[in-house]
Amino acid sequence: MTVTPQLNTLYIGVANTNINQVPAYNDPLFIWSKYVGEDGQPGDPGTPGAPGQDGETYYTWVKYAPNETPTAAEMSNYPANMRYLGLAFNQTTSDASTIYTDYQWSPLYDNVRVGGRNLFIKYQEEIDTYLNAAGVTIVDTTENYSTSNFIKIEPNENYVLSKTDSTVSSQHYFRYVWYTGDQNFISPRVSLTDNIQYLKSPANAEYIRLTYPKDVSVQLEYGNIKTSYRPSPEDIDYQISHGLNLVETEIGSLQDDLNNLSLDTERELGLIDQILGEYHDRLATLDNSSLSTSESLGALTGRTVAVENVLNGQAEKWTFLDSRIIKLGNEGIWIGEDDIQQNPDTGEWTYTNGILIGMSADGGNHIAFYNNNVRTAYIIDGTMHIDHGIFVESATIANFKFEKIQGTNVLSITYAG
């Protein structure tokens, strides 16, 4: 009993009382009447409505694939080893499409498989070759392609094959062939042009070989996710080893150059010291002598066999008793043997044994040392350049001292600081 009607209320009771209290539900004061009437008789049938449209059955297609743009062959009805789920809603046929653009693709994160190691070893490649349709290597220098060695893989596994763009090949194709454990050809060669390929190895495959433009970077990695390019560990080791060999070769070449430096440089430097010594002795003699300037010039003239003008007075040659000369001319000052020659056609001078002090082609000061018609060394802008020479005992280059260990043929290289 409630004080307000409910959905299931069938009767209403009314009680007259002189107290402010609701009587009990069975109090005889209540007079009960039906709140809801009895059902009436059924009415006449109504007018039928207009017929509705025929119903239509819709389907949802479901596909799985290793990537977001799969080919028909790459699509599967099962998720095993697949990377993406494709759904196509409200389709009017139960026959699922194999066109990837008909689907909405979502990643399956539980199926992510990342290898991250490049299985392709570049230093083992065969340049100017390609794989024919039977998986045989063909040599062709016009194709600008290279072929990998046999790369070890696992059967029934996913791999990602990728390369960079090529500038030497117009076709830019990838070719790959699967082989058995005995390296026997399994399947026809596959040619593709996309830079990224998602592969599934056959059940009996244990090797793969690749053909690619020879100017590209190639990466073959296990899994279904492409990672950034990095060379294989084998290629890195090879580059390190090859680099060390180059360093050793350069050191050997440097040692050979040092061993082949000529004694001529040392001899010419000795000649300079001798001339400078004579010059300083002469100055000392002049300082200690009471001879006048004219007397000194007279003494110098007395040592001179002949003084002659050459080149129409533009040069002067002093010839001394010891067959050496000092020649003053456009080329500079020549100190040495009197056997220099000038080419009448070119005007160039040929020097034999001596020192030439003059101007270089760019206007700088220039000191050159000659021996047997060969310039062995020269000094310009504060730097000595040695064309031919031998350091017999030791030489210091930058902060490194190259020194022969006495009594041996061993070259010691020491950091001199």
Q: What is the residue extent of each domain of the chain?
A: 1-36, 59-111, 122-231, 264-389
Distance CA(339)–CA(337), nearest Å, equals 6
Confidence of residue 414 (pLDDT cuts 50, 70, 90): confident
Highest-pLDDT range among 63-67, 260-264, 346-350, 409-413: 63-67
State mean pLDDT over 27-34: 80
> Where are the extended beta strands (E) located within 223-342?
304-310, 315-320, 324-329, 332-337, 341-342
Phi-psi category of residue 356: left, alpha or beta, with phi > 0 → left and psi -120 to 50 → alpha: beta
Distance CA(180)–CA(187), nearest Å, equals 10
Instruction: Return the structure tokens found at 246.
Output: 């180059």
pLDDT at 34 over 90: no
So what's the pLDDT on residue 293? 45
Assign domain 122-231 one CATH number from 3.30.70, 2.60.120, 3.40.50, 3.90.930.
2.60.120
Question: How high does pLDDT run on average in the chain?
Answer: 78
Distance CA(65)–CA(67), nearest Å, equals 6
> Where are the extended beta strands (E) located within 67-147?
84-91, 104-107, 126-127, 129-131, 137-139, 145-147
Distance CA(164)–CA(230), nearest Å, equals 12
State mean pLDDT over 19-48: 80
Confidence of residue 375 (pLDDT cuts 50, 70, 90): confident
pLDDT at 306 over 80: no
So what's the pLDDT on residue 184? 94
Distance CA(264)–CA(369), nearest Å, equals 9
pLDDT at 77 over 80: yes
Distance CA(222)–CA(118), nearest Å, equals 8
State mean pLDDT over 362-381: 77
Taking Cα atoms as reference points, which of 142, 135, 148, 147 lies closest to residue 168?
Answer: 142
Backbone angles phi, psi at 238, to 5 degrees: -65, -45
